Chain A
Amino acid sequence: MMTYIVFILSVIFVVSFVGFSSKPSPIYGGLVLIVSGGVGCGIIMNFGGSFLGLMVFLIYLGGMLVVFGYTTAMATEQYPEVWVSNTTVMGVFLLGLLMEVMLVLYVLKSEEVGVVFKFSGVGDWAIYDTGDSGVFSEEIMGVAALYSYGAWVVIVTGWSLLVGVLVVLEVTRGD
């Protein structure tokens, strides 16, 4: 099972995405986001990126999702919608689950899968320790590169986040 751990985690990832895209109440969407955040962290950690995975937990789940949870709890309604309360929501969820199950069976059964692009069965997800990563781990080098060669990206994303806050405040200001 450990060879295919990334495959299993990515299936759970997609299922939780289906869970919140079928639009239950935001509280339950946040619940599923926690699951998908944790699973995503697991995927990243399996590729050796322990720093980034822990950052997902700390900043994304422990910072942003907590704030989201509190604000949604303040703005929630008396009987929030669950996946089984509304026929439409349940229908969409089941449809998404069905499509994922069919895709997983397709991947498990056949040698080569070509949906939009080709990949060779489940083997593409197993992680082999090929290649010499050298003395330094790649992922810390990536973070270091972000702050040295990628300074422009940091500036642009920082500016986008600032303008994002301004835009949201402007849009919700009303008259």
Chain B
Amino acid sequence: MNPLIFTTILMTVLLGTMIVMMSSHWLMIWIGFEMNLLAIIPILMKKYNPRTMEASTKYFLTQATASMLLMMAIIINLMHSGQWTIMKVFNPTASIIMTSALAMKLGLTPFHFWVPEVTQGISLTSGLILLTWQKLAPMSILYQISPSINLNILLTMAVLSILVGGWGGLNQTQLRKIMAYSSIAHMGWMTAVLAYNPTLTMLNMLIYIMMTLTMFMLFIHSSSTTTLSLSHTWNKTPLTTTLILITLLSMGGLPPLSGFMPKWMIIQELTKNSSIILPTLMAIMALLNLYFYMRLTYSTSLTMFPSTNNMKMKWQFETKRITLLPPLIVMSSLLLPLTPMLSILD
């Protein structure tokens, strides 16, 4: 793509999300979402093969439907409250419709079906933008309307998302689909605590973005999109096998690593609000996630995966330099002692 056009379109994606996050008028928020959607379609379609076109079409259709539902909720809110300012949504019907619209944008169950298919059809860099930056805008709106969201619907969607994210990822060998199911599960964790303490939602979003960025950059560095291809990194850059191990275990939520911080805080917050069964279920279902991360680490760093001799040498033109990778790796594994700092997110 022409670099000037590509820069313009990328800046429009950023502008769209910024408009959503800083507007106080519901119509501007809708405009921001539409601008974001419009501008990310050519980024998803960077290579012109039928798979990317199909993935972009699916993404466009689901997100456009979600924007329509959002507009309907905005208008019902306008009819019942007479004003366009962002604050909690006054009418229960509008609140439910808005929650469903934002769940469709995020990829929560039962609207999660587009996430694996779209993530699989596009390139790794586009998948990176899709799974990290595109989650910021809907989550900021959920944060702002959190006092008025129907708790039953929110918690049902959250628990089902964690279940689907864990269970659906079990049978996958394609790395992009694994990351998609991981995204669904993490969104579930984030929305579970939204009604109780929205600061923890933001904390979880921050740490999830760091870890997903790290994982995607490690995949881009070794140009691998399948488990088999990833298992050959010991031959190319042996150091990245250890880094993949650490980051994947951090994503699974194991204690001395920073991925444990959001899960710990969320479970603590939920138990403080006297719900015991829910965090127990959530923690148990996070084990499913941990299982397929550990399967990836097993094939990548802990064993030399069996393959024929001519597959062991991976061909690539030159080593990609990913500037942000070392700080991201450090941040996604060593942030746990900084937990008291989360008071700055208030």
Contact = CB atoms under 8 A, between A and B. Distances in A.
Contacts of A153: 28, 31
Contacts of B38: 160, 163-164, 167
Contact of A166 (B9, B28, B45, B80): B9
A152 B35 CA distance: 14
A39 B34 CA distance: 27
A170 B38 CA distance: 12
A165 B321 CA distance: 34
Contacts of B98: none
A171 B31 contact: no
B1 A170 contact: yes
Interface string B40-83: 01100100100000000000000000000000100010011000
A175 B45 CA distance: 11
Contacts of A164: 38
B322 interface: no
B237 interface: no
Contacts of B93: 116-117
B325 interface: no
Interface in A75-129: 116-117
Contact of A160 (B5, B35, B41, B45): B35
Contact of A170 (B15, B31, B42, B72): B42
Given A156-B31, A174-B48, A163 B80 contact: no
A159 B9 CA distance: 11
Interface in A125-171: 152-153, 156-157, 159-160, 163-164, 166-167, 170-171
B12 interface: yes
B7 to A, nearest CB: 11
B39 interface: yes
Contact of B34 (A160, A166, A170): A160
B8 interface: yes
Contacts of A175: 48
A101 B19 CA distance: 41
Given A153-B28, A163-B35, A167-B39, 19 more contacts: A116-B76, A152-B28, A153-B31, A156-B19, A156-B28, A157-B31, A159-B15, A160-B34, A160-B35, A160-B38, A163-B12, A163-B38, A166-B8, A167-B9, A167-B38, A167-B42, A170-B1, A170-B42, A174-B48
18 contacts: A117-B93, A152-B28, A153-B28, A156-B28, A156-B35, A157-B31, A159-B12, A159-B35, A160-B31, A163-B8, A163-B9, A163-B12, A163-B39, A167-B38, A167-B39, A170-B1, A170-B9, A171-B45
Task: Across the A-B interface, give the 7 residue pairs with the lowest CB-CB distance, nearest first.
Answer: A170-B42, A163-B12, A175-B48, A160-B35, A167-B42, A163-B39, A167-B38
Interface of B: 1, 5, 8-9, 12, 15, 19, 28, 31, 34-35, 38-39, 41-42, 45, 48, 72, 76, 79-80, 93
Interface of A: 116-117, 152-153, 156-157, 159-160, 163-164, 166-167, 170-171, 174-175
